Chain A
Amino acid sequence: MSTTCEELLPLIAARATGSIDPEERSAVESHLATCAACPGIVRDLDAAVGECAIAPRKAPDRAWDAILRAIEEDRAGSASGPLVRIVLRCTFCHAGLGRDAASFCASCLAPHHAECFEQHGRCAAPGCSETRTVAPAAVTSRTTRARRPRWPFVALAGIAVAGTVAALVPDRTPTEVAAMLAEVSEPGAVPAYPWDDLGDTEVGRRLLSQKVSLNLDDRSFEFAMQTMRELTGVEVRADERLHASRVNVHLRVRDLTLWNALALLARHLDDATFVVEPKGVAFVPRSALSGERARPWHARDVVADDAATVEIKRRLALQKLTVNFEETPLSEVVAFCQDITGQNVVFAPGVDRTQTVTLQVRDETFGAVLTALLSTVGLDYEVQNEVILVVKPRPPRTALALADRRVTLDLRGVTVPQLASTLAKQGIDVIATKETWAQKGTLSVIAKDETVATLIATIASSSSLHPWIANVPAAESGAVLVLDGLVPSVREAVTAPLPSFPGVATDVIEMRARLLRDVATRDRARKVPELPRDALLARERAVDLGAGTILSLLQRSKNIASARSRASRGRMEIRKVQKEMDKLRAERAEAPREHEKALAELGPGADERTQKERARLGREHEIKLARLESELQLAELRRDELLRQLGVIELDQQMMAKLEKGARMAEAERR
């Protein structure tokens, strides 16, 4: 077949399927008249189109009865929960799954058809290899119990229960944790994870794995609790001191983790949180708790939904919207955004939903649209509990304040819990993921009156940890230091959504979008180590490619070979940026004093010249502050970017090492 034939192949195909233009047709016909090979293809194509013919068949008679039965079952299934329906899907075959028919993985509670689980031999959830299942026994007993109103009983038991809960909670402040940790002298022994109040209970696992969709339109809190009970089979109750019956709930969310749904509900009550009980959860006043749980924040709030938070922020920065609102009520606007973007946007309790907004923009990022919309009515948003929460403006950023704090440490060969305890002693709230807490390795940190930001850079560049600061307005210092581990496996690294490494300040993404171009310009000027492009390509495509292809890609990459020296250069660069940032901060702290000094020198004169001079000084001062602030932001972004790149380089190194090992093993096997 000549080149012309190959070129004409699509047209020949189009001719056979009758989707050809008259002009094209004449070109094809004239070619077919002269070509020797193509008529054969045409015959094959005609035959194939002929194969598409559908022989008329009669549907089996029994089908109708089966359909009626299925409809009946469907109706019965939806009757118990008219507002929302949770559809379980089998983790193995992804087909729908009746709640009663499901058997759940004993480790991760992923729902399966019993036969699917048997066929697969183990849990089909990625990363889980559990071979046992559990049956939903609680569900069957629940249906009979849930109907009976037991409120008077619960109310009577309220105070007693709260007391018991308080007694059960380990009463530990960070300093006490530190004292406890100081006693740990035996190497390798890891103290209990201090933020875990879920334990290995069935309810706890369910709270983190089950998804729920709610559509509560100004319903009573009790109605909300009853809905949750019926949907999830988890007992939900509220302490009577919270006066839940007086509260109304407005919540419209899709596919939200049960834990986060409960956390959002708890926001509607005054200073309330929820605790996990043997058979369910209870909303209780914070004052009834003590220790870690009395804190208005929790490790899991900050860490567990980190991946979800990063994903939401990524979408806020990348997803484009075109909107045209004119005097539209905020509730409609939010519903629109929710439908268009598929993201959960939720009003915090107490936010006025009836205010109207007007905005017309084309192709603007979701984040920018939300900011523009909400700022016109004096509102703001934050990402929490897996949703975008519309709130009244939050307090000023505190992450930077913690980053500026100074610490002195001399630790050699300590474990993560020991590091955490030492930092806690210096009054810095520290949390760690459970995996990081239990990590076997040790690290050495030496810092003499350094800022926390420098400390972070030091730890990140000398260990596999990637600490970051999370804004938690309710924490004592307004922010906590999260000691986070490196992405645990190569697989996760290649599939993790970018950016895979949350920056030092958690709110940088939006700013990043705005300033990234400037940073890129500066980066080019300063010769920042470039990412190994082939490796990045491999990382992006690794999901689709086999390991062999990645290996060849990597082996071809000369860039990767120098990744090690690149990484060390990167670390040096990070330290340099850090010093620069420290200098800028010092300058910023000094600026008001200098301004005051200049004013004092000018004297208290009230004549026109002095007043003009004073105004000039004021302007100059403001400009200087703004310049410092923006330079600081840029430096921060650059540092984040460097840390991220360093993370990628390190991951690539790890990935390469693993792949090489695999290749060597394969080679040995072949021999």
Chain B
Amino acid sequence: MVLTAMKATETGETSASEAFRRLYDRHKDEVFSFLARLLRDDALAEDVLQETFLRVHRSLDSYDPERSERAWVFQIARNAALDAIRVRKKTERILEETRRRSSTELQDATDLVARREEETSTRRALESLPPDVRAMLLQRHGLDMKVAELAESWSCTEKTVTARLRAAATKLAEELFKLRAARDGGRS
């Protein structure tokens, strides 16, 4: 494993940074795609990508080579993304408040309607799920991670992963059901 080598050759500065570079190259595209999809904001995804690999670098010492490298990197990426979402939510709330105070309300409302119409109902249902649930669904169905790998990435048992996946699916189904009911109601 490259990482083990990296830990062993802490004194050999060059080989360590080379190994880190190889680790980065192995995962960067997949991590970036995952982040861009989860955050739906390329600029933010790029920031989080940097944060992710900074955290990876910081925790190289505590990395357990027995673990799946991919699960580990994605665990860090997901946590960084969830942090970013929390920060963004707070900022958005403030911005919205400021906006409400100023008089550009109408404009925004029009924007919002336009944006809403673009989105399909299924996507909207997906986006309405809590970020961590969404992250799990994306890891399972977008990255095609097996349950065992997910368990490693979420630091829990496979049983828990299955239970969480089912809970997420149920939540999704309920959202879809609500949307469908609203649509049908609107029509009649």
Q: Name which of B63-71, B108-116, B165-173 contacts chain A.
A: B165-173
- Say yes or no: is A492 at the interface (Cβ < 8 Å to chain B): no
Query: Contact at A93–B90, with CB atoms within 8 Å?
Result: yes
Bound complex: CA A1 to CA B51 (Å): 46
- Say yes or no: is B176 at the interface (Cβ < 8 Å to chain A): yes
Query: Contact at B83–A13, with CB atoms within 8 Å?
Result: no
Nearest to A48 among chain B residues (CB) is B122
A44 contact from B34, B49, B122, Cβ within 8 A: B122
Residues of B within 8 Å of A60, CB to CB, are 32, 46
Once A17-B141, A44-B122, A92-B90 are accepted as A-B contacts, the answer to whether A63 and B50 lie under 8 Å apart by CB is yes
- Say yes or no: is A95 at the interface (Cβ < 8 Å to chain B): yes
Query: Contact at A52–B57, with CB atoms within 8 Å?
Result: no
Q: Which of A1-59 contact B (CB under 8 A)?
A: 1, 9-10, 12-14, 16-17, 19, 40-41, 44-45, 47-59
Q: Name which of A67-75, A272-280, A456-464 contacts chain B.
A: A67-75
Query: Contact at A67–B126, with CB atoms within 8 Å?
Result: no
Q: Which of B24-69 contact A (CB under 8 A)?
A: 24, 28-34, 36-37, 46, 49-51, 53-54, 57-58
Bound complex: CA A366 to CA B58 (Å): 33
Taking the nearest CB of chain A, how far is it from the CB of B164, in angstroms? 9
Residues of A within 8 Å of B121, CB to CB, are 44
Once A48-B122, A58-B29, A59-B49 are accepted as A-B contacts, the answer to whether A10 and B166 lie under 8 Å apart by CB is yes
Query: Contact at B37–A55, with CB atoms within 8 Å?
Result: yes
Taking the nearest CB of chain A, how far is it from the CB of B87, in angstroms? 5
- Say yes or no: is A119 at the interface (Cβ < 8 Å to chain B): yes
B138 contact from A19, A52, A66, Cβ within 8 A: A52
Query: Contact at B54–A17, with CB atoms within 8 Å?
Result: no
- Say yes or no: is B162 at the interface (Cβ < 8 Å to chain A): yes
As a 0/1 sequence over residues 122 to 159 of chain B, the CB contacts with chain A under 8 angstroms (1 = contact) are 11011000000000011011110000000000000000
- Say yes or no: is B100 at the interface (Cβ < 8 Å to chain A): no
Residues of B within 8 Å of A14, CB to CB, are 165-166, 169-170
A53 contact from B29, B31, B142, B166, Cβ within 8 A: B142
Nearest to A37 among chain B residues (CB) is B180
A57 contact from B32, B140, B174, B176, Cβ within 8 A: B32
- Say yes or no: is A671 at the interface (Cβ < 8 Å to chain B): no
Residues of A within 8 Å of B180, CB to CB, are 40-41, 44
Bound complex: CA A71 to CA B55 (Å): 9
B54 contact from A71, A95, A120, Cβ within 8 A: A71
Taking the nearest CB of chain B, how far is it from the CB of A102, in angstroms? 16
Nearest to A9 among chain B residues (CB) is B173
Bound complex: CA A54 to CA B37 (Å): 6
- Say yes or no: is B99 at the interface (Cβ < 8 Å to chain A): no
Query: Contact at B54–A16, with CB atoms within 8 Å?
Result: no
Nearest to A71 among chain B residues (CB) is B57
Residues of A within 8 Å of B173, CB to CB, are 9-10, 12-13, 16, 41, 45
Residues of A within 8 Å of B165, CB to CB, are 14, 17, 19
Bound complex: CA A14 to CA B31 (Å): 26
- Say yes or no: is A64 at the interface (Cβ < 8 Å to chain B): yes
- Say yes or no: is A94 at the interface (Cβ < 8 Å to chain B): yes
Query: Contact at A66–B33, with CB atoms within 8 Å?
Result: no
B29 contact from A19, A49, A59, A67, Cβ within 8 A: A59
Residues of A within 8 Å of B53, CB to CB, are 67
Query: Contact at A13–B32, with CB atoms within 8 Å?
Result: no
Taking the nearest CB of chain A, how far is it from the CB of B6, in angstroms? 13
Bound complex: CA A548 to CA B122 (Å): 34
Nearest to A54 among chain B residues (CB) is B142
Taking the nearest CB of chain B, how far is it from the CB of A16, in angstroms? 6
Taking the nearest CB of chain A, how far is it from the CB of B101, in angstroms? 11
Query: Contact at B94–A120, with CB atoms within 8 Å?
Result: yes
Bound complex: CA A92 to CA B51 (Å): 19
Once A13-B172, A93-B90 are accepted as A-B contacts, the answer to whether A51 and B166 lie under 8 Å apart by CB is no
Bound complex: CA A94 to CA B141 (Å): 31
Residues of A within 8 Å of B166, CB to CB, are 10, 13-14, 17, 19
Nearest to B95 among chain A residues (CB) is A119
Residues of A within 8 Å of B120, CB to CB, are 47, 51
Nearest to B121 among chain A residues (CB) is A44
Residues of A within 8 Å of B170, CB to CB, are 9-10, 13-14
Query: Contact at A74–B91, with CB atoms within 8 Å?
Result: no
Residues of A within 8 Å of B31, CB to CB, are 59
Taking the nearest CB of chain A, how far is it from the CB of B30, in angstroms? 8
Query: Contact at B172–A48, with CB atoms within 8 Å?
Result: yes
Residues of A within 8 Å of B177, CB to CB, are 1, 9, 41
Bound complex: CA A67 to CA B32 (Å): 14
Query: Contact at B91–A93, with CB atoms within 8 Å?
Result: yes
A95 contact from B87, B122, B142, B143, Cβ within 8 A: B87
A63 contact from B46, B90, B169, Cβ within 8 A: B46
Bound complex: CA A92 to CA B87 (Å): 9
Query: Contact at A57–B29, with CB atoms within 8 Å?
Result: yes
Bound complex: CA A45 to CA B24 (Å): 35
Residues of B within 8 Å of A47, CB to CB, are 120, 122
Query: Contact at B54–A67, with CB atoms within 8 Å?
Result: yes
Q: Which of B73-112 contact A (CB under 8 A)?
A: 83, 86-87, 90-91, 94
Bound complex: CA A14 to CA B54 (Å): 36
Nearest to B90 among chain A residues (CB) is A93
B32 contact from A49, A59, A74, Cβ within 8 A: A59
Residues of A within 8 Å of B176, CB to CB, are 41, 44-45, 48
Q: Which of A299-344 contact B (CB under 8 A)?
A: none
Bound complex: CA A67 to CA B17 (Å): 12
Residues of A within 8 Å of B122, CB to CB, are 44, 47-48, 50-51
Residues of B within 8 Å of A63, CB to CB, are 28, 32, 46, 49-50
Query: Contact at B33–A57, with CB atoms within 8 Å?
Result: yes
Residues of B within 8 Å of A41, CB to CB, are 173, 176-177, 180
Taking the nearest CB of chain B, how far is it from the CB of A118, in angstroms? 11
Taking the nearest CB of chain B, how far is it from the CB of A72, in angstroms? 10
Q: Which of A62-104 contact B (CB under 8 A)?
A: 63-64, 66-67, 70-71, 74, 92-95
Residue picked from A52, A59, A60, most chain B C-beta under 10 Å? A59
B169 contact from A19, A51, A57, Cβ within 8 A: A19
Residues of B within 8 Å of A49, CB to CB, are 137, 141
Query: Contact at B29–A13, with CB atoms within 8 Å?
Result: no
17 A–B contact pairs at CB < 8 A?
A1-B177, A13-B169, A13-B172, A17-B141, A17-B165, A17-B169, A44-B122, A48-B126, A52-B126, A63-B49, A63-B50, A64-B21, A67-B24, A93-B87, A94-B83, A95-B83, A95-B87
Given contacts A12-B173, A41-B180, 19 further A-B contacts (CB under 8 A): A9-B173, A17-B137, A17-B140, A17-B166, A19-B162, A44-B179, A45-B172, A52-B126, A52-B140, A54-B33, A54-B37, A56-B30, A59-B31, A59-B49, A63-B32, A66-B50, A67-B24, A74-B54, A94-B86
Interface of A with B (CB < 8 Å)? 1, 9-10, 12-14, 16-17, 19, 40-41, 44-45, 47-60, 63-64, 66-67, 70-71, 74, 92-95, 119-120
